[in-house]
Amino acid sequence: MSVLDSPAPSSRLASVGATAALELRGVTRMFGALAAIADVSLTVRPGERRAVLGSNGAGKTTLFNCITGDILPTSGTVRLFGEDVTRFPPYERIRRGLRRTYQISLLFPGLSVADSVYLACRGVSRWRYSLLRPRTGDPLLMRTAELIEAVHLTPARDRLVSELSYGQQRQLEIALALAGAPRLILFDEPAAGLSPAERRELVEILTTLPRHIGFVIIEHDMDVALRVAESVTMLHNGRVFKEGAPDEIEDDPEVQALYLGGAHG
Partner 1 sequence: MAVAARTRSTLAATGRAAADPGIEAPWFARIPTGVWLVGAVLLTMPAYANNFVLFQVFGWSFILGIIALSLMFLAGYGGMVSLIQMTVAGLAGYMVAILGPSGTEQISLGLSWWIYLPVALAVATLFGTLVGTLAVRTEGIYTIMITLAIASAFFYFTRQNYTIFNGYNGFTLVRPPDLFGVDWRQPVPFYYLSLACAALCYAAVVYVARAPFGLALQGIRDNARRMAALGYNVTAHRILAYGFASVLAAVGGVLLVWQNGQIAPGTAGIPAVIDILVIAVVGGLRRPIGPFIGALIYVVLSSFAPDILTAFGLEPDRFKLIVGLGFLAAVFFSPDGVLGLWDRWQARRARRPDPLTGKVP
Q: Give the interface with partner 1 as residue ranges (CB under 8 A).
A: 68, 70, 89-91, 94-95, 99-100, 102, 106-112, 114-116, 118-120, 122-124, 127-138, 141-142, 144-145, 157-158, 160, 176, 179-180
- Bridge partners of residue 79, in order along the sequence: 23, 84
Three-class DSSP category at 263: helix
In this structure, what are the phi and psi dihedrals at residue 179, rounded to the nearest 5 degrees? -70, 160
Residue 49 burial by Cβ neighbours in a 10 Å radius (0-12, 13-18, 19+): buried
Q: How far apart are CA 105 and CA 102, in angstroms?
A: 6
Q: Which is nearer to partner 1, 159 or 212 (CB)?
A: 159
Q: How far is the CB of 53 from partner 1 (least distance, A)?
A: 23
How many Å from the N-terminal Cα to the C-terminal Cα in the chain?
41
Q: How far is the CB of 93 from partner 1 (least distance, A)?
A: 9
207 to 92, 130, 215: CA distances (angstroms)? 28, 35, 11
134 to 139, 157, 161, 255: CA distances (angstroms)? 9, 17, 21, 52
Q: How far is the CB of 66 from partner 1 (least distance, A)?
A: 14
Q: How far is the CB of 187 from partner 1 (least distance, A)?
A: 13
Q: How far is the CB of 183 from partner 1 (least distance, A)?
A: 13
Q: How far is the CB of 189 from partner 1 (least distance, A)?
A: 16
Q: How far apart are CA 67 and CA 62, in angstroms?
A: 9
Alpha-carbon Rg for the chain, nearest whole angstrom, is 19
> How many residues would you count in the chain?
265
Q: Which is nearer to partner 1, 186 or 235 (CB)?
A: 186
Q: How far is the CB of 109 from partner 1 (least distance, A)?
A: 6
Any idea what DSSP says for residue 112? Answer: B
